[in-house]
Structure 1
Amino acid sequence: MAVTPGIRAGYALGSLTTGAFGTVPGLLLLPLLTDRLAVPAAVAGVLVLVPKAWDVAFNPVAGRISDRATNRRPFLLRGGLTLAALFAVMFLPPIFGTPAGDGAWVAVSFLACATAYAFFQVPYVAMAAELTDDYHERTRLIAWRVATLAIAILLCGAGAPLIRDSLGGYRPMGLAVAALIALGTLGVYFGTAKAPVARITPAGARFGDLVTAIRASRPFRRLLTAFTIQAVGIGTLLAGVDYLARVVLKDPGAQTPLFAAFVAPALLVMPLWQRVGLHWGKRRGYQIATALFALSIAAVVFVPPMALLVPLVALTGVGYAGLQVFPMAMLPDIITAEERRTNTTQAGLLSGIWTAGETLGLALGPGLYGLLLALGSYTPGGSPDQPPSAHLAIVLGFTLIPAILALAALPFMSSKDDAR
């Protein structure tokens, strides 16, 4: 089934919402807690992790609720707009004037955001397998989505800190990102209004059904494991950008060029990764992208001058683009193969498990980074003067930890029974 460019663009706009919510909390929520609200690093890591862990558990529930509808689009609208409002609320502190009170406000708001996001994300991911059954058309559909995701990450990753630092703090930044979330929600809702939906597939299941689905499909289980492990590494890297710029480089303004260098290449190299997938297969392309990502970010461990640091981060961004497009393009192929094998509809079920794994990985990243800061004796309160152990923790969390986690996923890509 062919998908028109208009529908591709409309579907891709949903990535403005997923990109904004997937980026900004992982990038700025930990600094908000540790440096603005003086919450200890270890506690801040837990506060960032727990709401996302809840999201993992709640995704199947959101899927079951959306299964009752004949159209997923209304869930996108309600979930996305609710998320936008709650996101602005999350960045209102300081309100109570104490680390405990303001930290609790952020944690509860983040939990509410995660709940609303589940009602957007699960239907959104499930739609990819419902719009077309064509192998290469799915790659194009996902490539548009990932390119838009890169734009969202670039806007939020580079723009959110800039707004925070130039317009008076976290509150105006929260409002600006909330507006982008709302824009993406409205874009995908109206942009897919004329999309042909051949079927509505179950997006939710009981816990036993989830376990059975994971056990039944070895290719899905391996791809999910690889993607989740790498999501932890990416989440750790994102959490470290602010700390690397402020504490190690002694230049808060360096955060914007570093983040731009990481994300901007995705807008240019997506056609290249598509050609790699066509000539060598999606699995091989995934392996190449993983190696490029890991080697490039590992080289940053020496913290070279900006003239070399930015190109290395940009090369890491080229690999990151492949880490996004290949697994998400392989997922619909695995879903289709599994449906043919079992003669059942499983797109929504497997998509719900996939989003849970991605959410868990991106949540564990900042939590792991907070633990590293605590082990490095990072002092909360926003002081740029930190002990050498904190400097080491900041650099390792931004470089070697993401590289090791990316390479740890390689064994799960090697099986010949995985999707090509």
Structure 2
Amino acid sequence: MKRKALIGWGVGSFTSAALVGAVGLLHLRFMTDSLGLAMGMAGLLVVASKIYDAAIDPVVGVLADRTRTRWGRHRPYLVGGALLAAVSLVMLFNVPTGLSYTGLLVWSGASLLIFSTAYTLYRIPYLAIGRAITQDFHERSRLMTFSVYGSSFGGLAATAAAPWMLSLMGGDRAAHGLLAMVLAGLVALGGIATFLLIDATSEGHAATTPHITFRQAAAAIAANRPFRALIAFKVTMFAGLTLHGAALPFYTRHVLHAADKSLGSIFLLQTLGMMASQAGWVRIAGRIGRRQALMLAALAEAAAMCAWYLVPAGHPMPWALVLGGVEGLCVGGLFFGLYTVLTDTMDHARHHGPASAEGVLAGVFVMVEKGTAAFGTWVFSAILSAVGFVSAHDAGSVQSAGVVNGIVLSLSVLPAVAAVLACLFLRAPAQGQAETAGIPQPPAVVDQDAALNTALPTAMVAGAVAMVMTLALSSSPARADAARPGAPPSPPPAISAPATPVPANGVTIPRISAGVDGKSYLDTVTLPRAPGSDPLAINARLYTTDTEIGVSPPGTFIDWHRVSSPRLLIVLSGTLEVGLGDGSVHRLQPGTIVLANDTVGQGHTSRSVGSVPVMAMTVRLPREDPLRSRASSCPDGVAPEQCVANSLSIQHNPQPVPKP
């Protein structure tokens, strides 16, 4: 096995993982929170694109097997598919401004279809090449570890570095577009590098193989029992994984109230866990077999997903980070097992089929991946729609108790049940069946007793089922406030007008500022005491530039933004919710005065919550020295003798005026 083919296989996995990771993690939330599309409609667009994607997978697989070029059957698709995928990635997150609601739907739907086509053109030929690179049992295990390494780095770029960069660039709609351009460049370079590193020799001189017909392709699938079992496992397992992955960004924002930076940290630790686990999974597969190792990884992932049910919302760290790393260890075994068992089933097709059908099997393998991803996404969007999730376009981010319950269960118990059920399709075959099926096994597995081979998965499945049922009947700390029927979740901390007398040295009010890291945070500032004012009264007399009074209807949302100049924000009526870059969310009640001074950095978000419109007054201050005090309370241009403030008769605790 050539070293450059080994590296090329890893680079190819990086490219596909970066693609699916970025879109799967960010695009649904981008459509709801940045474009303002309703959750049900956004989920429908994703599901429709994945159904289309799944439908064309077997067709692309057959076409790839029938392709004849001097570069081999499958290699040309690596470049073409990657370049088209890069273009589609830019389109997905760079939506033209000024589009109507219908225009947003059309653009988003068309971009998803182009992305689906590009991903299929790249992913299926890439998987088909894997079987031809090597047929040795141990070399193939080593090859698949490079695939997981590539997937890990791709996932790192898409799900850890991307949220971190997104938060650094402001997290708004424009930041999503810029981030997409960066990822698109990585995807294009990855496809070109894979083409160059995996040459025609690595593809196994496939250009001389006979053409395969669609009937032969169907016959090859029907005759391949190990492949059918693998597909049944993958359908069930990936339905749960997709549900789990779709729920995680909503869980961190709406249940834990954590910033996107924490989401990136979770995926970073998950990626590191995937990479660190590979040597261990190779040893496990060598001792108990690839199929048993795949089942063990699935059950371990079920346990890890259940553990999210127990994360306390008030203090999620470090528990959320630890679970991210543990899930990485489990997912590393899942992908290692899936890829190795897939190439083993390709060997079976080679020995029992009428023609070479690597592309056909890869097409079906990817088809069910996308089909179940569509199903999992649809289930999640349907659950949130049923429990009353409200998108940014419609209302505020404080969700009901039912929404919190739906997110928590979608993240933990429901996908764990799917993982346990998936293992039932990988029950051990009868003694000797694995060898006759054409799946290579290490000597230690071939000599195992059949009873032990059956008892091990049965015991693991029974234990996992018991654990899932126990958690399903218990109460989750993350939804403790939602445990009572009809009880709303705990609202963000409220900032209201001070009820106690102001301090003698000046008026103290909350202030929104930007830290050295560009994140906004909340502290307090004491306004300077007006010179020459009544010694028994507290006056703050500032220079201002202009004043604005605005009324926002319920549900108005403004994404991440900073102020162009410092200003005093006074809430007159209604409730205004402000989200800060440090992950905290605060509510401004009527009578509240806040100094918004985050003129640099990420800024903050604002949202009108409740059923009452928010009326607020904005008093803009000079950008330079905004808290500079005025010497006089008389308006500019008014003579002192004409200034009413100079002739006021102020009395403290005056004696009552006698009645006549």
When the two structures are superposed, what TM-score results if normalisation uses the length of structure 1?
Answer: 0.94
- Say whether 1:311 aligns with 2:317: no
> Deviation digits for residues 35-83 of structure 1, max 9, x if unmatched?
1122221221111111121111112232333322231222111111111
Comparing both chains, which one has the higher relative contact order based on Cα–Cα distances under 8 Å and sequence gaps of 6 or more? 1
Give 1:342's aligned residue: 353
C-alpha displacement at 1:222, in angstroms?
0.7
Partner of 1:32: 30
Q: How many residues align?
A: 417
Measure, in 2, the Cα distance between the counterparts of 1:47 and 1:148. Answer: 29
Deviations 1:385-414 (A, max 9, x none): 111111111111111222111111011111
The equivalent residue for 1:149 is 151
Residue of structure 1 aligned with 2:281, choices 244, 249, 273 = 273
Alignment correspondent of 2:197: 191
User: For the structure 1 residues 204 and 180, does the alpha-carbon distance in structure 2 shift closer, same or farther, using more than 3 Å as the test?
Assistant: farther
Say whether the 8 Å CA contact 1:262–1:317 is kept in structure 2: yes
RMSD over equivalenced CA pairs, Å: 2.0
Q: How does 1:88-107 map to 2 (within 5 A)?
A: 88-93=90-95, 95-107=97-109
1:114 equivalent to 2:116? Answer yes
Per the alignment, residue 226 of structure 2 pairs with 219
Q: TM-score, normalised by structure 2?
A: 0.61
1:415 to 1:212, Cα distance in 2 relative to 1, 3 A: farther
Distance 2:106 2:212 in 1: 30
The residue that corresponds to 2:240 in the other structure is: 233
Shift of 1:255: 0.8
Determine if contact 2:14/2:190 at 8 Å carries over to the other structure. Answer: yes
Q: Could you say what secondary structure the match of 1:411 adopts?
A: helix
- The runs of 5 or more residues in structure 2 that have no matched partner are 442-660
Deviation of 1:204 after TM superposition, in Å, equals 7.7
- Give the helix-richer structure, 1 or 2: 1
Match status 1:257 vs 2:256: no
**Identical counterparts, % of pairs:** 26
Q: CA deviation at 1:343?
A: 5.1
Alpha-carbon distance in 1 for matches of 2:143, 2:406? 39
Task: Tell me, in whole angstroms, the C-alpha distance in 2 between the residues paired with 1:33 and 1:50.
Answer: 15
Tell me the distance in 2 between the aligned counterparts of 1:163 and 1:84: 18
* Paired amino acid for 2:153: I
2:132 matched to which residue of 1?
130
- In the TM superposition, residue 313 of structure 1 has moved relative to its aligned partner by 2.8
Q: Choose the corresponding residue for 2:183, options 165, 174, 177.
A: 177
Q: Which residue pairs with 1:61 in the alignment? A: 59
Could you list the per-position Cα deviations for residues 327-355 of structure 1 after superposition, in whole angstroms to 9, with x for gaps in the alignment?
21011112212321235322222111111
Asked if the contact 2:391/2:397 (under 8 Å) is kept, the reply is no
SS of 1:264's partner is helix
Q: After TM superposition, list the pairs within 5 Å mapping 1:1-80 onto structure 2.
A: 3-66=1-64, 67-70=66-69, 71=72, 72-80=74-82
Corresponding position of 1:394: 407
- The unaligned stretches of length 5 or more in structure 1 are none
CA displacement, residues 177-206 of structure 1 (integer Å, 9 cap, x when unaligned): 111211211220111136433242689863
Q: Confirm or deny: 8 A CA contact 1:37 1:103 kept in the other structure.
A: no
More divergent stretch after superposition (297-306 vs 361-370): 361-370
Counterpart pick for 2:417 among 392, 400, 404:
404
Q: Does 98-107 or 330-339 show the bigger shift?
A: 98-107
Q: How many angstroms does 1:9 deviate by?
A: 0.6
